[in-house]
Amino acid sequence: MGIDLTEADAANELMRLARQIAHHNRLYHAEDSPEISDAAYDALVRRNSELEAAFPHLVRDDSPSRKVGHEVAASPLAKVRHDQRMFSLDNAFSDEDVADFVARVRRFLALPEDAEVALTAEDKIDGLSCSLRYEHGQLVRAATRGDGEVGEDVTANVRTIRDIPAHLTGKVPDLFEIRGEVYMAKEDFLKLNAAQEAVEGKIFANPRNAAAGSLRQKDPTVTAARPLRFLAWGWGAASEVPEVSQFAMMQRIAAWGLPVSPLLARCESVDAMLAHYRAIEHRRAELGYDIDGVVYKVDRLDWQERLGFVAKAPRWGIAHKFPAERAETVLEAIDIQVGRTGKLTPVGRLTPVTVGGVVVSNVTLHNRDEIARLGVRPGDRVVIQRAGDVIPQVVENLTRDVPREVYHFPDHCPECTSEAVAEEGEVDVRCTGGLICPAQRTERLKHFVSRAALDIEGLGEKTIDEFFALGWLESPADIFRLKHRREVILGREGWKEKSVDNLLAAIEAKRSPDAARMLFGLGIRHVGAVTARDLLKRFATLERLREVAVAAHSSPERGGGPAKLVEGHPPESPTSPHPQENLPVPLHHPADGPPPRAGEALAELTSIDGIGPAVVEALGDFFHEPHNVAVWEDLLSEVSPPPYVVETKDSAVAGKTVVFTGALETMSRDEAKAQAERLGARAAGSVSAKTDLVVAGPGAGSKLKKAAELGIEVIDEAAWAEIVRAAG
């Protein structure tokens, strides 16, 4: 599909992609049980990137482009916080993507076209990322990547892997974290599965799953019995980096006793990179381990430092993935699932087929339009593609011309029989039942207590389904009233005193929830985890955000009318059986400053990076609906989220708004903005009364003039460089 979409269609598709990719990330990273191929997964990620590039103002806070891996699931292994975040890599799928990547590096570093940009190239092993912490040359800790910030402690298990030395040889920095991939060779994988089958044990889908499952064992003796291996590809925290290039540093790591890829090479041009890629692809089948692409990294480490990172990936590295694998099978049925926003998602049930070593039996068909585009019906023979070796999709209908009844997408919700419609300009069909639809209500509750939201331990999907069926949970506020049902819960099968008390204690611990998590948990359209944090960074309190959102919704600039919220308590929530106290909740708090005017409120919202019209519309619509306000205020009668506090780096510009203008001579504009963000500042695009500092280069024009008019401090590029240097 191309990018010929309306803004509403793009926003809807980005929302769907965020959820799908999060689902498959959880299966792959946290549960080691992917449903789809890497190729199918990469296709979803690539589509997400294409849409974000075409509609940058629609980038979601929960966008896959801002996330690494997946949070650590419930596990017997201890959690470990990485000293230096473990990032993932952005992907390239074509020669043009690789050339564009090198061009971006040149632009960011402000390099001339004829300047050499050398990069390393090595095979990308399909295994489990692991960080090895060595102190004075001795292995003291090993951890999985997890979500990039927190992983699992697998030190005891790693000590059983013969490729990983307990002591490094030669002169080693006092602290050095070596990062690489734990994997299982193809031959060893086949032997393991044969042994598992002989004792009727678990059969692994592919070597990657076998490696992940073997490393994350509670009992190290189980890991010791599994033939795991390790290949280093980089490093993390270090007291000293003794080389000046990626290639030389990897050779140094090999000299210390860690294996590195024998296919690692240094390339001085895009043509050389692509030639090495094709050489590795040609050898792919004969290699003793699975790979899914080639990784390129800028060789000069000082350039890597300047390039820095985006939300989830380094600017100095990229993974060039191999083409997707395909297979044919039969589409046996099309089921409809109803999500928490009422969206009807068609899921194809397939005759199980193996694609790239993974058995695929389910595939998303995305929406009504995609079914029509493919012309699929139950009974059709279809081509399935696993893009990037994890998520499957239908790419072709081989029996489209065979006479068979056309599939009719339902026009009523399968859960509550309410009418299902697509709003004007939207591709998704949604149930109109709202809170009377049990699927939406339970899914919203599950989202509210999920790890990324309030993270209430013990209140899982089965428990929510059980309590909902009993009429105990109708809205988020009801969760905090469960303490009044303690004795009744104890009387139910499967509930013991300890489990009930643990659940109630976990709920009570969230009486003062993180404001951004709570906002995300409410499931407002287009307000994901990152957007929620960005909003609270600006407004600090939920009530201030509500006040600004209501004012912005009535702004003439967006064609809105006056908001219908009134001061005082709204009608009783139809989702809760509990009467509500008639306590007024004012729309404005004097401590928050004067009430915002409509135009100013809209301008303030849209000035936040990543906040576009879709988010403003969604917030306004949410607070415009009395039922939503009732749920909101009912919840705030049970919880008291403190003001959101942003931790900023200790620098002269931390917490300030900085504007760069004119031609910067020692760095690109992107690099300057990245520096500002690392120092805890906000890099804005225009000068206003809220601007604290302007960095002006040669040719600065209207922005410099406006800064002078407003009396804003102006410095040159050299002074900015000194601020950066002083912050370390």
Handedness of CA 603, 605, 611, 612 (dihedral sign): negative
How far lies 516's CA from each of 130, 539, 634, 725, in Å? 30, 11, 18, 32
Task: Answer positive or negative: Cα dihedral of 100, 103, 107, 113.
Answer: negative
- Specify the amino acid at residue 41: Y
* CB contact at 8 A, 120 and 247: yes
Q: What is the spatial distance between Cα 598 and Cα 412, in angstroms, rounded to a whole number?
A: 38
Show the CA angle centred on residue 628, arms to residues 586 and 471, nearest 5°. 120
How many angstroms separate the CA atoms of 459 and 464, rounded? 7
Which of 124, 343, 673, 703 is catalytic? The answer is: 124
Q: Return the H-helix or E-strand segment holding 238.
A: strand 228-238
Strands (DSSP E) along 13-153, which ranges?
79-81, 91-92, 119-125, 128-135, 138-144, 150-152
CB 528 within 8 A of CB 62: yes
In angstroms, what CA-CA distances link 715 with 22, 109, 657, 723?
43, 21, 14, 11
- The four Cα atoms 228, 229, 230, 231 give a dihedral, to 10 degrees, of -140
* Residue whose entry in the numeric block shows the structure tokens 């009744």: 488
Residue type, 134: Y
111: which residues sit within 8 A by CB, 6+ positions away? Answer: 105, 117
Q: Which of 15, 5, 6 is nearest to 618 (CA)?
A: 15
3 state SS of 562 = coil
**How far apart are alpha carbons 606 and 370 in whole angstroms?**
32
Residue found under tokens 């060893």:
188
Q: How far apart are the first and last CA of the chain?
A: 46
d(CA 63, CA 59): 7
DSSP 591: G
d(CA 82, CA 177) in angstroms, rounded, equals 10
- How far apart CA 308 and CA 314 sit, in angstroms, is 6
Does an H or E element contain 509, and which? Answer: none
Residue with tokens 């397939």: 350
**Taken in order 379, 380, 383, 387, is the CA torsion positive or negative?**
negative
Q: Containing H/E element for 325?
A: strand 325-338
Buried/exposed code over 138-157 (b: 16+ C-beta within 10 A; e: otherwise): ebebbbbbbbbbbbbbbbbb
Q: What is the DSSP letter of 30?
A: I
Question: Partners of 420 in the beta sheet?
Answer: 431
Structural Rg of the chain based on CA atoms: 27
User: Catalytic: 649?
Assistant: no
Q: Which residues are catalytic?
A: 124
